[in-house]
């Protein structure tokens, strides 16, 4: 099979973790006889430096011509807490989501047996956690208009907007995933306060009636945040709007013990994008200390979701599990007292595992 992808390393640790994910992708393609072709594009702060635009037209054209996008992270300390910045790296990510029609972010949250003790929660609470959060990605407060501040700067406003069509497509996607899993959907909203949430709940009830074999529960977002800590294994598929999903998925990721472990997929109208859930961590750039596993697991999702190559994805997951079992880990997940490995060394170990399997 021809594997044609766009590669967007981005900022901070992005280039380092993407480098390792690419090496793993190349190893898998060689192993299974696939032809890999890829081109790199600019996004984020590096794109602003080069073009003035955090998501240049050339990068968008590259993504549109590709079967999938492998993405690192965006963000730069020069733009943090800088109210005078007219354009920001994160605007490139939002523009990419909107222009590519990436309306659904899919984040699996699972625990790794070898890292249970790294979780801030007790073993008996987190053990067996395996759920998927499906977050709406192109609507809500992050894209609502009007948005801005008053002339004197003392008042700021954002607008949360959702249409029936936007809610229908994301909720239907959640039910389709639940059909392949444990047949339970949790719809998270704030319908006791927000008009947009009442639309979400109304539409979700209509769609739930089309899937009588699936258990549906409706949960306010504050309750969902508590349940994630008290009983995370009770979730199967969680679906929610953009901002709630942003917050809850980051909370859920901590259950695993490290932000450096969780991949994600953003699917939509034109192509799909695969990225780790963590940020660009600019303070660590170039130090060879970033955990590449989430990005490598994002490559596994790419093989599975974009190309239907399930065996290839399984081999990558197996190699990642084997690396942790062998304590080939970066500092964030390394066992106490053991010497941590660098980003490159972890990637090389996984490539060798794939080559020798």
Distance CA 205, CA 230 (A): 26
Is residue 246 part of the annotated active site? The answer reads: yes
Looking at the structure, do residues 156 and 254 belong to the same domain, yes or no? yes
- Tens-of-pLDDT digits for all 357 residues of the chain? 999 999 999 999 999 999 999 999 999 999 999 999 999 999 999 999 999 999 999 999 999 999 999 999 999 998 887 777 789 999 999 899 889 999 999 999 888 777 777 788 888 898 889 999 999 999 999 988 898 999 998 999 999 999 999 999 999 999 999 999 999 999 999 999 999 999 999 999 999 999 999 999 999 999 999 999 999 999 999 999 999 999 998 888 788 776 678 899 999 888 999 999 888 999 999 999 999 999 999 999 999 989 999 999 999 999 999 999 999 999 988 877 889 999 999 999 999 999 998
Residue of 49, 158, 250, 332 marked catalytic: 250
Residue of 67, 130, 158, 246 marked catalytic: 246
Looking at the structure, do residues 277 and 259 belong to the same domain, yes or no? no
Looking at the structure, do residues 105 and 95 belong to the same domain, yes or no? no
Residue of 190, 236, 341, 353 marked catalytic: 190
Helix/strand/coil (H, E, C) string of the chain?
Answer: CEEEEEEEEECCCHHHHHHHHHHHHHHHHHHHCCEEEEEECCCCHHHHHHHCCCCCHHHHHHHHCCCEEEEEECCCHHHCCCCCCCCCHHHHHHHHHHHCCCCEEEEEEECCHHHHHHCCCCHHHHCCCEEEEEEECCCCCCCCCCCEECCCCCCEECCCCCCHHHHHHHHHHHHHHHHCCCCEEEEEECCCCCHHHHHHHHHHHHHHCCCCCCEEEEEEHHHHHHHHHHCHHHCCEEEECHHHHHHHHHHHHHCCCCHHHCEEEEECCCCEEEEECCCCCHHHCCCCCCCCHHHHHHHHHHHHHHHCCHHHHHHHHHHHHHHHHCCCCCCCCCCCCCCCCCHHHHHHHHHHHHHHC
Q: What is the C-alpha end-to-end distance of the chain, expressed in Å?
A: 21
Looking at the structure, do residues 171 and 240 belong to the same domain, yes or no? yes
Looking at the structure, do residues 247 and 163 belong to the same domain, yes or no? yes
CATH number at residue 108: 3.40.718.10
Looking at the structure, do residues 208 and 171 belong to the same domain, yes or no? yes
Is residue 250 part of the annotated active site? The answer reads: yes
Pairing of strands 68-73, 2-10: parallel
Which residue segment(s) compose the domain that 149 sits in?
Answer: 101-268
Looking at the structure, do residues 54 and 139 belong to the same domain, yes or no? no
Residue of 157, 222, 287, 357 marked catalytic: 222
Is residue 321 part of the annotated active site? The answer reads: no
Nearest CA to 185 out of 249, 138, 134, 246 is that of 134
How many domains is the chain partitioned into structurally? 2
Looking at the structure, do residues 107 and 236 belong to the same domain, yes or no? yes
Residue of 142, 162, 175, 341 marked catalytic: 142
Distance CA 291, CA 13 (A): 9
């Amino acid at each position: 099979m021809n594997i044609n992808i766009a590669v967007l390393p981005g900022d901070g640790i992005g280039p380092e973790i993407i480098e390792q994910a690419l090496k793993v992708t190349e190893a898998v393609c060689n192993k299974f006889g696939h032809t890999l072709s890829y081109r790199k594009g600019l996004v984020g702060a590096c794109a602003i430096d080069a073009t003035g635009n955090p998501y240049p037209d050339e990068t968008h054209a590259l993504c549109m011509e590709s079967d999938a996008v492998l993405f690192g992270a965006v963000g730069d300390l020069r733009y943090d807490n800088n109210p005078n910045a007219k354009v920001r790296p994160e605007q490139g990510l939002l523009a990419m989501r909107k222009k590519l029609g990436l309306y659904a972010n899919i984040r699996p949250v699972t625990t790794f047996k070898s890292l249970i003790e790294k979780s801030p929660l007790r073993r008996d609470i987190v053990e067996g956690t395996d759920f998927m959060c499906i977050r709406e990605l192109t609507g809500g407060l992050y894209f609502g208009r009007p948005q801005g501040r008053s002339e004197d700067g003392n008042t700021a406003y954002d607008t949360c907007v959702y249409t029936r069509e936007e809610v229908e497509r994301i909720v239907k996607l959640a039910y389709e995933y639940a059909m392949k899993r444990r047949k339970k959907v949790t719809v998270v909203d704030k319908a006791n306060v927000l008009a947009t949430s009442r639309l979400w709940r109304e539409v979700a009830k209509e769609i739930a009636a089309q899937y009588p074999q699936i258990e549906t529960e409706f949960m306010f977002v504050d309750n969902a945040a508590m349940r994630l800590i008290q009983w995370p294994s009770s979730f199967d598929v969680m679906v929610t709007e953009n901002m709630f999903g942003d917050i809850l998925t980051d909370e859920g990721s901590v259950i695993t013990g490290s932000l450096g472990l969780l991949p994600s997929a953003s699917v939509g109208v034109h192509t799909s994008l695969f990225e780790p859930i963590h940020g660009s961590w600019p303070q660590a750039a170039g130090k060879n200390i970033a955990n590449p596993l989430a990005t490598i697991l994002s490559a596994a999702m790419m093989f599975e979701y974009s190309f239907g190559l399930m065996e290839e994805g399984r081999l990558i997951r197996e190699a990642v599990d084997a690396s942790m079992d062998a304590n080939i880990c970066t500092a964030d997940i390394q066992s106490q007292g053991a010497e941590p490995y660098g980003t490159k060394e972890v990637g090389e170990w996984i490539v060798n595992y794939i080559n020798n399997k």
